[in-house]
Amino acid sequence: MTPPATRPLVAGNWKMHKGPREASVFCDAFAAALEAEPAGSADLLLFPSAVALGAVARHPIVERVGVGAQTVHPEPSGAFTGELSAEMAVDAGATWALAGHSERRHVFGESDADVAARVRACLRAGLRPMVCVGETLEERRRGHLEGVLRRQLEAVLPPLDDTAADAWAIAYEPVWAIGTGETASPDDAREAHLLLRRVLGDHGRAVPRILYGGSVKPDNAGELLATEAVDGVLVGGASLDPASFRAIAGASDPR
Ligand code: PGA
């Protein structure tokens, strides 16, 4: 098994927040915050709304921060009103895309096969997919943690057959910790991340960076980023504020 990259990846998922003007205001403030106090050791990435992708991608902040789409449609173009293709996301300046975020799975009904189709679309267009996996509280209580994570991860492995470990990532986001203020303990995160590594090892795959997501805030980011097998964080609510996202980005720096 290849060891994962050592530079942590700190990513912000803006969900359905911020249009292009608000995104530019954020980028101005975030750039100023980084200039005042650089977040040295982390790679940074933002997933703005589709309509704000271009605004972030054209902002000078992209010298320091990567940009990704929150979801893409499997097809490159066509009669799919309201959808965004991976090719269009690339045209807007994206280099990454989320696939299988729990809100896409649970609110919009995306199946494991749908997620795999979106991963395939990312790779076709040259986007790096960040595949989100995670169990619900009910699944955890019934002891299905391993089964759920294994099923969700194995579903995307065929399209990722020839993909280098640094050209994709996994985000472990327990559904019960997303937007709830409940954070998985470092032990919970370690257990799930090691389990994901084991699944990859069973398939002879190199290990990409595995991020933790779910109620990550400035005051718990340091502990999570220091946890064994946690290679970064995917931040929702706390990524909307430039100061708090800056604090999380710097949480992996030595003090
Ligand atoms: P949260 O969201 O940080 O607001 O819990 C995380 C996510 O959904 O990616």
Q: What pLDDT does residue 5 have?
A: 52
Q: What pLDDT does residue 3 have?
A: 45
247 is a domain residue: no
d(CA 234, CA 49): 15
250 is a domain residue: no
222 is a domain residue: yes
Domains held by the chain: number: 1
43 is a domain residue: no
Element (H, E) at 71: none
Beta bridge partners of 172: 133, 212
Q: What pLDDT does residue 1 have?
A: 42
208 is a domain residue: yes
Helix (H, G, I), strand (E, B) or coil at 144: coil
What domain range includes position 114?
66-238
Beta bridge partners of 133: 172
Helix (H, G, I), strand (E, B) or coil at 53: helix
Q: Which of 173, 183, 220, 248 to mutate to test the pocket of ligand 1 (most atoms within 8 A of CB)?
A: 173
Q: Which of 16, 234, 239 to mutate to test the pocket of ligand 1 (most atoms within 8 A of CB)?
A: 234
Catalytic residue, candidates 59, 73, 87, 101: 101
228 is a domain residue: yes
Where the chain has pLDDT below 70, the residues are 1-5, 255
Q: What pLDDT does residue 206 have?
A: 96
Show the tokens assigned to 130.
């960040």
Known catalytic membership, residue 35: no
CA-nearest residue for atom 3, ligand 1, is 236
Q: What pLDDT does residue 213 have?
A: 97
d(CA 180, CA 26): 24
2 is a domain residue: no
Q: What pLDDT does residue 255 have?
A: 58
Q: What is the CATH number of the domain that holds 208?
A: 3.20.20.70
Helix (H, G, I), strand (E, B) or coil at 87: helix
216 CA: nearest ligand 1 atom: 3
Show the tokens assigned to 90.
């690339």
40 is a domain residue: no
Pocket of ligand 1 (CB under 6 A): 13, 173, 178-179, 213-216, 234-238
